[in-house]
Amino acid sequence: MKKNLVAALLLLFLGLHLPIVNSQNCYWVLLADKAGTTFDPYSYFDSKAIERYRLNNADLFDISNYPLNESYVQQVDAIATEEVGQSRWLNAVAVMASDEEIAAIARLPFVLRTDIIATEMEIAECRNARQPNDNSITNLDSKKPGLTITDQLLRMEGDLFVKGGIDGKGVRVAVFDGGFHAVNTHAAFKHLRDNNQIVATWDFTKKRENVYDRHTHGTMVLSCIAGRLGERQLGLATGATFLLAKTEVDPEPFKEEVWWAQAVEWADKNGADIINSSLGYGKDRHYTWEMDGRSYVAKAANMAARKGMLVCNSAGNEGDDSKWKCIITPADADSVICVGGINPSLKSYSHISFSSYGPSSDGRLKPNVCNFGYCEVADPHNDTATDFAYGTSFASPLTAGFCACAYQAMRGTMTNAMQMKQLIEESGDLYPYYDYALGYGVPQASFFTDESKRTIEHAATFQFEERGQYLLVQPAKVTKPRNASLDFKTTGMGAGKADDVVMFKIQDRQGRVERYVNLGIPHLDETTYIAFPKAAIWGYDLVVHVNGFTNRYRLSKLDSIYFSNENHEFEYHVIDTTGFFKEDYTENGNRSLADNTVSNWGVGQRYLSEGYIQYGMKWIFGSDDPLHYSDAWNIGLRAMRNFKKWYSLGLGLEVEFSTFRYAHGSPNTWDRSLQLTDFGNVEHKHHIIDNVNLEFFQRIRIMTGGMMSKGLHWDLGVFAGLQESEYRISYNSAATDGASSATRVSYDNVKPRSYYDWGLTTRLVWDCIGLYGRFRMSQPDLDLPRLELGLQLSF
């Protein structure tokens, strides 16, 4: 009977986990060729797409546009559990499949390879919609007369586009997001609805046209491209036409990459000129060293540029995340305009704390440009109101709307998307200066409305002066910010005189930035100097930017030799003409490339360690012993190696304290072994067992989330340990004063029949709280509990 019960419990244990062990994963199945397929671009593409191909000298008959071989797809579908989607560009079909199914698919003669996706697409986080603690920002009042353009547009000199009648007309913009709740009803999009400017929609998650569901992120994003509420203009491209694609949904952690790739091809087919994607893959899918354009979405984004589409993507909101810090993909793609975030002020110029930093992991400049990371957006919960929201999710669409206007302004002179990308970078108000927080700065409309701005040489605003062991940067007598909006035209986000912008960096001969600093100095004039010890810039170029003018300094050969053995730690000083240090300046940023380094330890990194406490109850089956109940405390440490973002192997070491409480009036196995018969005064009978256990386990991460970002995860493993035990009996005995006292007798010679223990263990945990269970496999004839269930707290 006992053996049958053990077998049944073991079968139940394995059966409960069988669905997870045989769970489905999402894969790209890459096909070897497109043999036998035919393609007519003139019936497949929208006429606007054909025109874009022509203007960009792209090949309509490129093999990437041909459909997949239908016979290949049918054979793959016959084996897979589900087809998720197809990609012409990748020549691949995405499927849900078990391990056995994907192995069979991989053996098909026309399959080039299979790649597991197992990913989670993240919307570039929309931070809490509230005002930051910044006295330069006040609530905007749409009833104030004469205010038609918000500061987020003025920062780009957007008023020049508006005055010139440039609103993106003739340009088609595709927006990829998680949904567009209330775009079909909100007053901020009335002009788009009235003029039929939303030409196509598609929900890739449900394969239907309706994208106006409960998800609000896309609503706010679209308002930053083309929103207009009464006299308040939120985005610049109010005259553009739009394609709205829903590519993200909770809680599908595996399919969004497929939907994103399909959306790019859909946008291509329907004639998009610009794609805005406020979505990205970060720490839940990749490691930081993989942010080099290798992902499938990055490859798709690069191919979109090759076909004439300009892609704007948010940099990500991981700048203040110690486990990530850097940009996300597809913002890392070479041909993508990666947009970082700045604080929403017309008085200062500073990186907003959460905006992800560049460069790409292979050293390319990212972000390319920047824009407000805190914006006025259409309130998706009130059809006649606006709200405020944080995130590079909104810096990107501000830039996408700007790009649409730039396309219109340059109509007739542009040939391809890559040329426009370069012009957008050159229009940045820091260009040719760049760093890994701001890129080339905020794009400026005057670059496109005034042709002379593209060729004019900026007047020198400073000069280099050598003084012994120091290099001085001396501002000229007259300095004027390049961006006029920093002096006037404010609408509530920071009226008043702007600080003068002083930025500098040290970079190697290949242009790779080692350290960059951003200063805001009020009333900058010729009485202020920035002093650098020459030893601090040894081996580097010093590049300085002051109010629109950039210049470079390199040590002479003689100085390079002289300072080669000096302390090369970077430093600078702001001083006046008398040599005294000045303190009336703001350091808006001081960052080195080393600051992007993240630890290999932590959630989502290569390694993870955790401590834990468990409390559980134990059950005994098939025994006649009068056991009241038993419980256990376990305290331990685990260390894991992550082989995938969703799969780890680990080791654990713990100590376990178990107490078995027996009925005090009846004999049990241990009483009989000690030949104890008198139980009249017995108060307690406890069998104490202390274990030291070693565990080997696998962890499968089912979904992300939680306070500690551990998400929902399931562990399955085996444990083995050594044990010591003691049997204790407490007696009541009468004292001389009539009171009672307790006497405890311990029998340490009573032990289980083996000094080792082993069995199976499992856990299902959300973040730091979960359930655990273990089943002892050793000595099945030992009259001790075999099943243990309880709660776990990890930290």
List, for residues 604-622, the tens digit of each pLDDT value.
788 999 999 999 998 766 5
- Give the strands of the sheet with 82-87, arranged side by side: 82-87, 92-97, 25-31, 111-116
In the block, residue with structure tokens 């100085």? 559
Lookup: tokens for 365: 């400049």
Q: Pairing state of beta strands 111-116 and 228-229?
A: unpaired
Segment holding 723, helix H or strand E: strand 712-734
pLDDT at 626: 65
Segment holding 282, helix H or strand E: none
Could you tell me the pTM of the whole model? 0.83
Segment holding 264, helix H or strand E: helix 256-269
Confidence check: pLDDT of 557 > 80: yes
Q: Partners of 714 in the beta sheet?
A: 700, 764
pLDDT at 491: 37
pLDDT at 120: 45
Lookup: tokens for 514: 């080692």
The model's confidence at residue 745, banded by pLDDT at 50, 70 and 90, is low
Contacts by 513-516 with C-beta closer than 8 Å and gap 24+?
513/359, 513/434, 513/435, 513/436, 513/593, 514/540, 514/570, 514/592, 514/593, 515/570, 515/590, 515/591, 515/592, 515/593, 516/435, 516/436, 516/437, 516/589, 516/590, 516/591
CA 272/CA 305 separation, integer angstroms: 11
pLDDT tens track for 434-478: 999 999 999 999 999 988 777 767 789 999 999 999 999 999 865
**Which residue, 698, 715, 704, is CA-closest to 604?**
704
The model's confidence at residue 671, banded by pLDDT at 50, 70 and 90, is confident
CA 385/CA 752 separation, integer angstroms: 73
The model's confidence at residue 748, banded by pLDDT at 50, 70 and 90, is low
E strands, 180-285, are 198-203, 228-229, 232-233, 241-246, 274-277, 279-280
**Which residue, 79, 63, 82, 66, is CA-closest to 111?**
79
Using an 8 Å Cβ cutoff, are 728 and 685 in contact? yes
Lookup: tokens for 651: 């080791």
CA 326 to chain centre: 9
Lookup: tokens for 285: 């899918």
pLDDT tens track for 184-243: 999 999 999 999 999 999 999 999 999 999 999 999 999 999 999 988 999 999 999 999
CA 48/CA 242 separation, integer angstroms: 12
CA 184/CA 192 separation, integer angstroms: 9
Segment 110-134 shows an average pLDDT of 62
Confidence check: pLDDT of 250 > 90: no
Using an 8 Å Cβ cutoff, are 277 and 311 in contact? yes
**Which residue, 516, 565, 512, 513, is CA-closest to 538?**
565
**What is the phi/psi pair of residue 758, to 5°?**
-155, 160
Question: 739 CB contacts (<8 Å, ≥6 apart)?
Answer: none
Lookup: tokens for 626: 């009068």
Segment 654-677 shows an average pLDDT of 79
Confidence check: pLDDT of 252 > 50: yes
Task: Report which of residues 792 and 148 the model is more confident about.
Answer: 792
Give the Cβ contact number of residue 556 at 10 Å.
10
Q: Partners of 656 in the beta sheet?
A: 634, 691
pLDDT at 500: 86
Rounded to 5°, angle at Cα 763 from 762 and 769: 165
The model's confidence at residue 583, banded by pLDDT at 50, 70 and 90, is confident
Q: In three state form, how does the secondary structure of 191-215 look?
A: HHHHCCCEEEEEECCCCECCCCCCC
Lookup: tokens for 346: 């017309």
pLDDT at 239: 97
Confidence check: pLDDT of 118 > 80: no
pLDDT at 235: 97
Instruction: Count Cβ atoms within 10 A of the Cβ of residue 116 and give its class: 0-12 exposed, 13-18 middle, 19 or more buried.
Output: middle
CA 645/CA 8 separation, integer angstroms: 34
pLDDT at 567: 83
CA 465/CA 637 separation, integer angstroms: 59
CA 669/CA 53 separation, integer angstroms: 86
pLDDT at 661: 80
Q: Return the axis-axis angle of helices 417-426 and 392-409, rounded to nearest 10°.
A: 110
pLDDT at 20: 43
E strands, 247-308, are 274-277, 279-280
Lookup: tokens for 517: 């600093």
Q: Partners of 339 in the beta sheet?
A: 314, 369
The model's confidence at residue 524, banded by pLDDT at 50, 70 and 90, is confident
In the block, residue with structure tokens 């542009």? 414
Rounded to 5°, angle at Cα 143 from 140 and 146: 90
pLDDT tens track for 301-338: 999 999 999 999 999 999 998 888 999 999 999 999 99
Residue 443 is classified by DSSP as: B
CA 337/CA 396 separation, integer angstroms: 9
CA 66/CA 78 separation, integer angstroms: 22
Instruction: Count Cβ atoms within 10 A of the Cβ of residue 665 and give its class: 0-12 exposed, 13-18 middle, 19 or more buried.
Output: exposed
Contacts by 609-613 with C-beta closer than 8 Å and gap 24+?
609/637, 609/638, 609/639, 609/640, 610/637, 610/638, 610/794, 610/795, 611/635, 611/636, 611/637, 611/638, 611/794, 611/795, 612/636, 612/637, 612/638, 612/654, 612/792, 612/793, 612/794, 612/795, 613/792, 613/793
- Residue type present at position 331: A
**Which residue, 275, 251, 273, 254, is CA-closest to 263?**
275
Percent of the chain with pLDDT over 70: 84
pLDDT at 7: 45
**Which residue, 55, 148, 161, is CA-closest to 447?**
161
CA 294/CA 717 separation, integer angstroms: 34
Cis peptide, bond prior to residue 667, ω within 30 of zero? no
Q: Partners of 730 in the beta sheet?
A: 684, 744
Using an 8 Å Cβ cutoff, are 282 and 122 in contact? yes
pLDDT at 362: 92
Using an 8 Å Cβ cutoff, are 771 and 791 in contact? yes
Residue 156 is classified by DSSP as: T
CA 149/CA 235 separation, integer angstroms: 9
Confidence check: pLDDT of 3 > 80: no
CA dihedral 110, 647, 315, 336 (to 10 degrees): -10
Lowest mean pLDDT among 98-107, 217-226, 399-408, 643-652: 643-652
